[in-house]
Structure 1
């Protein structure tokens, strides 16, 4: 009997050793409902290599996501892993102590990411990174190649070229641009996408050094040119919303659309037969550096109080890997923040090339850390500018005065 008991114990011990540890289920929250199928594929790839861990991916409506997430974290019922916003959006939850601090000791691949990518998920006060950046977005001009070819147009090299191309399309009965401004955030997009080259790198550097504000003649001059070119927007564009503007472009009724690189995948889905090209809106002269406006769009973070932190960190390391970055680029047609990723979609490769000459998408990157938000101010002021209710000088002054409520360099 003694021998039987002993042999049974030995057998059970061997069986326990042979079996994987008890499975751990990680919850992973996101606002990207439209990407759920792709993320399930990414998760399957991770689970195959990590048989003791499963990941449950849950999505929420984008506009309510921040509130849902912060409420859950504050109540102690938040997920193990989560999508985070960037810049000011990330700081809101990181400052509450809800996110696990990350560095090259727990996520070694972070040491290979670019400084601007890491800055998007780093707390300014303590210089700690709290999320793995997942994508960059670029504000640029997308154009319909068939329409350009039919009208003998090429990518403009100067502002005069840009105006002439718009005039030629209008004369041919084609809407030069599809954009409208009824959807507030689109007002910010057209600034970044159309006049970054005109405001220039010098203005950006001086702004960050505290040597300039938005009353600077370079910024006011850029807004003057913005107002000038929006006469080539559709009739009634002030009341034209985002979805309708997208439809005008994807249906072939307009030659150009000012938007983010994220639009490329959207337009390809809406009209698979449309041939698209992209360019950085030019400066005043052909020799001026052509700049796009760039920002980083979200990250992946772990719950600082999660019960499965070891497994969560293992998944974050997967999300920081080149293997994942390549799948992200291939399946989501987006610019992964992971260094060394290549692009099978030629247009994404062109975006990556344009990104070599970029300045940050100003309000989102630098001026969403206080109230009033720079984005909210700009969106409202541009609506007034394009509606004829404010001058470029007044817009520059109102932006500077509003931001001076919390942005120290503007307090005089």
Structure 2
């Protein structure tokens, strides 16, 4: 990807050499934070959208891009996750979507039709379980993915009015529709693989086992289809939006994955100028085209089309344009970005405030283990989001 960026810029007469360093995903945040705090951070860095971007911006470690980078072709909703106090501090590079994936052969071999409603999904998984087939795979260790699964269900169970009322603080997460979302998530418990609580240490077991035909369904993101395809390129599987109770309002949950930010403290003026040109290029259609052709994911840059060689992503992009949740109510949303201060990035626990995504992670496993009720989970989420609803 970055070799392509370098080549394109060189062709435009921009003499720049990009040195890309990859860091393990599990240690990336801490490695980046340590480097940035110590003044040894990279000129350009991938940042978590939302709270992550805001912390680096508040600490004046990320440079504002307004006036030097044209972000006018980027979706305003996606761009909002890279902004702080009215300024833009990053260029969003990907839109991630959540879908329900199903193994067409397993369903066909067991006489199970592709479900169109939530109740049909429950019935289908019941039929599969009765025939000795694991209906759905999940990873209890990877609670972040469980929280995304709650959001994916919520996209089809919360209507716009309810989602907007929560965003506007006119309602909280104890609203009946969100409680029903948690109840639907809890209904998955009988259909998960044995010992699901201990699964996920490698982080890819869900996609791997699905690709190996060990489960009929998974709720996952388009970002994991690459793993599925790598494990079994010949696997016949399809995707659908998580079905709604009536089968009519199924919608797609999405979020801005991250953004590309500029270090505010680059010592060399020549390096700083070159880095600014690279970041500016990441906001262009040329970059978006290169990104989606290589990654097969959705770009937030207007006019970028997912190549036909990624048919599932093409379909997800269509849903994103026509059937996505508005506004985003989960990860990277306003409810997921507690107020930050310049000192937050200096420590790992500068604040006790939690966003909705963390709050959902806290209740996901207890819900599936039937240790708490959906009503109790909603009350716990509300308590952890007291900062947002003005109850503190």
**TM-score clears 0.5:** yes
Are the counterparts in 1 of residues 156 and 250 from structure 2 also a CA contact under 8 Å?
A: yes
Q: Which of residues 315, 320, 323 is equivalent to 2:283?
A: 320
Q: Which of residues 239, 258, 261 is equivalent to 1:278?
A: 239
Q: Which of residues 368, 376, 385 is equivalent to 2:336?
A: 368
**Does residue 1:297 correspond to 2:257, yes or no?**
yes
TM-score by length of 2: 0.88
Consecutive unaligned residues of structure 1, counting only runs of 5 or more, are: 1-37
Offset at 1:361?
5.3
- Structure 1: distance between partners of 2:230 and 2:18: 28
**Higher relative contact order (CA closer than 8 Å, sequence separation 6+):** 2
Q: Secondary structure at the match of 1:177?
A: coil
CA spacing shift, 1:277–1:378, aligned 2, 3 Å: same
* Equivalence for 1:113: 74
- Structure 1: distance between partners of 2:149 and 2:288: 29
CA spacing shift, 1:46–1:277, aligned 2, 3 Å: farther
**Does residue 1:232 correspond to 2:191, yes or no?**
yes
Q: Secondary structure at the match of 1:304?
A: coil
- Structure 1: distance between partners of 2:356 and 2:14: 46
* Equivalence for 1:199: 158
Offset at 1:341?
1.2
**Does residue 1:183 correspond to 2:142, yes or no?**
yes
* Equivalence for 1:411: 391
CA spacing shift, 1:270–1:82, aligned 2, 3 Å: same
* Equivalence for 2:37: 74
**Does residue 1:217 correspond to 2:185, yes or no?**
no
- Structure 2: distance between partners of 1:65 and 1:129: 22
- Structure 2: distance between partners of 1:43 and 1:160: 51
* Equivalence for 2:348: none
Q: Secondary structure at the match of 1:213?
A: coil
Are the counterparts in 1 of residues 330 and 336 from structure 2 also a CA contact under 8 Å?
A: no
Offset at 1:99?
1.8
- Structure 2: distance between partners of 1:42 and 1:292: 31
Consecutive unaligned residues of structure 2, counting only runs of 5 or more, are: 339-352
Offset at 1:259?
0.9
Offset at 1:301?
1.5
- Structure 2: distance between partners of 1:283 and 1:199: 9
**Does residue 1:257 correspond to 2:237, yes or no?**
no
Q: Secondary structure at the match of 1:175?
A: coil
Offset at 1:49?
3.4
CA spacing shift, 1:367–1:208, aligned 2, 3 Å: closer
Q: Secondary structure at the match of 1:57?
A: coil
CA spacing shift, 1:251–1:76, aligned 2, 3 Å: same
Q: Secondary structure at the match of 1:378?
A: helix
CA deviation string 1:378-403 (max 9, x = no partner): 21212111112111110001110121
Higher Cα Rg, which structure: 1
**Structure 1 range deviating more: 338-347 or 232-241:** 232-241
Offset at 1:231?
1.6
**Does residue 1:94 correspond to 2:94, yes or no?**
no
Offset at 1:263?
1.0
Count of aligned residue pairs for this structure pair: 368
Are the counterparts in 2 of residues 401 and 410 from structure 1 also a CA contact under 8 Å?
A: no
Offset at 1:239?
2.7
Offset at 1:149?
3.5
Q: Cα RMSD between the aligned structures? A: 2.0
